[in-house]
Structures are given as C-alpha cells and as structure tokens.
A and B are shown apart, each in its own frame.
Chain A
Amino acid sequence: EVQLLESGGGLVQPGGSLRLSCAASGSTFSSYAMSWVRQAPGKGLEWVSGISVGGSTYYADSVKGRFAISRDNSKNTLYLQMNSLRAEDTAVYYCAKAYDTLTAYLFDYWGQGTPVPVSS
C-alpha cells in the first residue's frame, strides 16, 4: 500500500516563501511521476506542478516562475518550493502519484493534504 505524507504547510504572509515535502512509502518512488494538486477553500481541484521520472518539470501558468518542484529519489521525497506567495495561493496542497509510467497526470494515490493559508 502506497502512503504519501505531506508536511511543511502553515500560515505565511503575502510575498513569503514555504517549502512543502511529501514523503512516499510502499512503492518504488523513483519509478513514477509525481504532482502537486491544490484545492482552495470550498473550491475544486487545480493541478499545480508535476515532475517526471527523469526530472523534467511542468507548471500551471498560475505558478510558473514562482514555484519549483523537485524530487530526491534517495529519500523517497517530493518537494514544492513556493516563493512570492499570494493570497490566491491559499489552499490545501496535495501530493499525488501517477497511476503508471504512461499516464503522468492520472493519480491513484494522494496524500492527506497540507494547508497553506497566505495572509497578513
């Protein structure tokens, strides 16, 4: 059974930075693409960023240039560095695992989410 555990969320002021982590267990972490998906309070799901097995990175336009995704396969951990945070980045951030090697954005396992409120 795959388990994903996010950490690093918390209250941050506009313009501030935060780094989220997602620790994976129960699967060969290095074999799967991973993504971050967020959900603003009372709203729907929004894909934020993804990273391939080979380390190629992809971003939603709304976070491009401000967020950076990375992975450390030796630690089975996914990261999201968030800079220049805005109020509209306020959301619960989920890490999600790709279903297989061919479908990077189909997610079969999700973490429990970590909240990131951006407010002064």
Chain B
Amino acid sequence: EIVLTQSPGTLSLSPGERATLSCRASQSVSSSYLAWYQQKPGQAPRLLIYGASSRATGIPDRFSGSGSGTDFTLTISRLEPEDFAVYYCQQYSRSPSTFGGGTKVEIK
C-alpha cells in the first residue's frame, strides 16, 4: 500500500500568512490521483483539491495544489480565520486508498 507522510505535523501561523503543507508518497502516485481535504472539529472532511491541482466546486482560489510523482504541496496563499483546521492528503490511484496523518494549521 502507498504510505503518505505529511509534514509538518502542526503549523502555527497568523491570519494573512501563507501556509505550505507537504505530502510525500512512498511510491509514485499515478495520474496525480492525489487529493486534499480539510476537516474542522466535529465535522466531516471537505474535499478541497483533486488531481493534485484542481480545486473542488466552491473552493476559494487562495487554496492551490501542486506536485507530481511522490511529492505534493497544498498552499493557502493568505490564511483566513476559517482556514484553521486539519488537512489530509489522500491518494486514490491504487487500492487501498490511503490518507496521510494530517497537518494541523493552528492560530499562532
């Protein structure tokens, strides 16, 4: 199975700052089948990015994804108060689909 490692575990930033989250895969993720989800406490995950760089419906353009192969990045250009949450990457190219351990973006 493909193991996804996210870093850092926690990111402490202030509103307005730029957030850069990393996701590294143990094997190449074919067709860039890599997604990013946002999860807030007590809520279900929300799809942000799919295909490594395509924004899901209704997702603001301050969220962007990049990368290919084994290295992927989620960037939040300017943090809004509602962006403080946990972010998960997921590969859906090969069964079983797997998720990374998550990065918590917290208010500094």
Contact = CB atoms under 8 A, between A and B. Distances in A.
Contacts of B43: 112
A117 interface: no
B101 interface: yes
Chain B interface residue count: which class?
A: 20 to 34
Interface string B85-105: 000101010011111111000
Contacts of A110: 44-46
A44 B95 CA distance: 18
B87 to A, nearest CB: 11
A99 B88 contact: no
Interface string A51-90: 0000000101100000000000000000000000000000
Given A99-B50, A103-B92, A106-B50, A45 B44 contact: no
B44 A46 contact: no
A112 B44 contact: yes
Contacts of A44: 88, 99-102
Interface in B23-72: 33, 35, 37, 43-47, 50, 56-57
Contact of B99 (A35, A45, A108, A112): A45
Contact of A108 (B33, B47, B97, B102): B47
Interface of B: 33, 35, 37, 43-47, 50, 56-57, 88, 90, 92, 95-102
Given A58-B96, A94-B45, 20 more contacts: A44-B99, A44-B102, A45-B37, A45-B45, A45-B88, A45-B90, A46-B99, A47-B97, A47-B98, A58-B95, A61-B96, A105-B90, A105-B95, A106-B47, A106-B50, A106-B90, A107-B45, A108-B57, A110-B46, A112-B43
